[in-house]
Amino acid sequence: MSTAFEIAKRISFQKQKNYTRFIVRLSIAATAISVAAILLTFSIVNGFQETIAHKVYQFWGHIRVASVNGAPQSIDNNSIAKIQANKTITSITPFLNQSTVLSFEQDIEGVVARGIPTDTEIPFIKSGGGFSSKKGDLKDSISDEIIISDNIATKLNIKIGATIRLYFLNTGSVQQRKLKVAGLYHSGIEEYDNQFILVDLKLLQQLNNNQLVEGYSIVVNKEAAIPSTTQWLQKSLPENWVATSISDYYPQIFDWIGVQTINRNVTIAIMLIIAVINLLTCLFILMLERVTMIGTLTALGASQNLIRKIFLYQASFICWTGILLGALIGLGLSLLQQKLGWIQLDESAYFIKTLPIKMDTIQISSVIIGTAVISYISFLLPTLWIKKISPAKAIQFD
């Protein structure tokens, strides 16, 4: 073991003056708080971004395929078969949206009926279920069930099993359909919950007297594959069709999600600055306290490099104590929130009720190692002061 390390160990763990001990503890605490705050920031922002994006993807899929002008198109079985052959794509769901008026007892509400096949998995089901009858899977059979959001159900006092009426305006005439409420969904995104109801695709096609669809919702097996799959689809589809990623289709939500990355980076930068300033201050104080020792070692022939190593080792003890303590606090709080969900949010503002957490091993390692590296580089600055210490004056310092 090196001489510098042995000296650093002895002076680090011997009894220190009260003010020095306070400064050391303050530096450890500041470093721990900074590291914990950085880890929590990463975990919270990761969880928040992933959860919100996943909600949007669950509702719309990852990619939307539609005609260039947005007009309904006939089903192109050849194109669908080609899309389904792509191993990146896990599902393709045709859909058709149509404005309608929902009526229950004396109340009415303007909504958008989203027609999908009855065998489609319904996201965000809160109570009841999906389309329980599979009659819509049979040729010329149409399901008489409907799925509405719990927001609409609460507003109009609709229960599962109730019969509601939908009024559609087609070619100048109003058409009415009676449907039974089969389930309630809750996405937490009010824009969706207050606007969309789910019905059998064949019902809307029957009302329009055609077999057209507005487009297709496509789900990929990896979110990272969305850009490349979108490009592939665009090259593979007919000229009058366009493939658009949902992040481009609804930029307002995803831009808002992206802003959280900026907030995260600003927070991390501030925490790192606080940690480095506190460690530098601590090291300067420790060196001032050891001016006599520095002068003595210099007079005995110790090199400046040896003396510099002594203080770097001492600063390392403080730095790593704070980093490890901060990692323990940050990861511990993240795990508690992940398991217990004790921090709740305003769902109307954040689209989620419970603060989400997602811990990333690479980010955790980067925070720990990065903080240590930045600290070590910063420690070199105060050790330059050692060159200016005169042995004769330093020995008389006390």
Which residue would you say has higher pLDDT here, 19 or 24?
24
Alpha-carbon span 180 to 156, nearest angstrom: 15
How many of the other CB atoms lie within 10 Å of CB of 367?
25
- So what's the pLDDT on residue 75? 76
**pLDDT over 70, % of the chain:** 83
**pLDDT over 90, % of the chain:** 32
- So what's the pLDDT on residue 18? 55
- So what's the pLDDT on residue 298? 64
Q: Which two structure tokens, joined as six digits, stand for 98?
A: 């149509």
Q: What is the pLDDT of residues 332-364, one digit of tens each?
A: 999 999 999 888 988 878 888 899 999 999 999
- So what's the pLDDT on residue 139? 56
pLDDT bucket at 24, cuts 50 / 70 / 90: confident
HSE, CB side, 13 Å, CA atoms: give it for residue 182. Answer: 19
Q: What is the pLDDT of residues 142-165, one digit of tens each?
A: 888 999 999 999 999 999 999 999
Answer whether 149's CB lies under 8 Å from 202's CB: no
Which residue would you say has higher pLDDT here, 280 or 298?
280
pLDDT at 196 over 60: yes
- β-strands 163-170, 145-149: how paired? unpaired
Alpha-carbon span 202 to 167, nearest angstrom: 16
Instruction: Kindly report the pTM of this predicted structure.
Output: 0.80
- So what's the pLDDT on residue 135? 46
Q: What is the pLDDT of residues 98-124, one digit of tens each?
A: 999 999 988 899 999 999 998 888 888
- So what's the pLDDT on residue 388? 57
Q: What is the pLDDT of residues 28-45, one digit of tens each?
A: 888 899 999 999 999 999
- So what's the pLDDT on residue 83? 84
pLDDT at 324 over 90: yes
pLDDT at 48 over 80: yes
> Alpha-carbon dihedral of residues 319, 322, 327, 330, nearest 10 degrees?
-140
> Alpha-carbon dihedral of residues 175, 178, 183, 187, nearest 10 degrees?
20
pLDDT at 65 over 60: yes
pLDDT at 3 over 80: no
- So what's the pLDDT on residue 295? 64
pLDDT bucket at 136, cuts 50 / 70 / 90: very low
- So what's the pLDDT on residue 157? 92
Backbone torsions φ then ψ of 367, nearest 5 degrees = -65, -45
* From 94-108, 126-140, 193-207, 340-354, the region with the lowest mean pLDDT: 126-140
Mean pLDDT of the chain: 83
pLDDT at 391 over 60: no
Specify which of 21-35, 233-247, 317-331 reaches the highest per-range mean pLDDT. 317-331
Backbone torsions φ then ψ of 25, nearest 5 degrees = -65, -40
pLDDT bucket at 97, cuts 50 / 70 / 90: very high
Cα distances (angstroms) measured from residue 256 to each of 235, 259, 262, 349, 356: 30, 5, 10, 12, 17
Q: What is the 3-state secondary structure (H, E, C) of the chain?
A: CCHHHHHHHHHHHCCCCHHHHHHHHHHHHHHHHHHHHHHHHHHHHHHHHHHHHHHHHHHHCCEEEEECCCCCEECCHHHHHHHHCCCCEEEEEEEEEEEEEEEECCEEEEEEEEEECCCCCCCCEEEECCCCCCHHHCCCCCCCEEEEEHHHHHHHCCCCCCEEEEEEEECCEEEEEEEEEEEEECCCCHHHHCCEEEEEHHHHHHHHCCCEECEEEEEECCHHHHHHHHHHHHHHCCCCEEEEEHHHHCHHHHHHHHHHHHHHHHHHHHHHHHHHHHHHHHHHHHHHHCHHHHHHHHHCCCCHHHHHHHHHHHHHHHHHHHHHHHHHHHHHHHHHHHHHCCCECCHHHHCCCECCCCCCHHHHHHHHHHHHHHHHHHHHHHHHHHHHCCHHHHHCCC
Alpha-carbon span 364 to 345, nearest angstrom: 25
